[in-house]
Amino acid sequence: MKTLSLKLEEEIFNEAEEITGKLKLARNRYINEAVNIYNRVNKRRLLKKQLSKEAKLTAKDSMEVLHEFEQLMDEN
């Protein structure tokens, strides 16, 4: 495990303290879980952005291929 020094806004710290107390969960475990969830959310955001970018790059080619297939089907 890595050691990390962290500065939190007082309101965020107080809320986290309240929640960890009610959950009987160590502050360290709570923060680890929060960062893990936030990492997963941001990985999905990055993936969505990348897929959107790639879809835009291939959209024109995909439409051209679709039109070619339609023409082949119309010929038969």
- Could you tell me the pTM of the whole model? 0.70
Question: Domain ranges in the chain?
Answer: 10-75
Model confidence pLDDT, tens digit, residues 26-65: 999 999 999 999 999 999 999 999 999 988 888 878 888 8
- State the SS3 of the chain: CCCCCCCCCHHHHHHHHHHHHHHCCCHHHHHHHHHHHHHHHHHHHHHHHHHHHHHHHHHHHHHHHHHHHHHHHHHC
Model confidence pLDDT, tens digit, residues 43-53: 999 999 999 99
- In this structure, what DSSP letter does residue 66 have? H
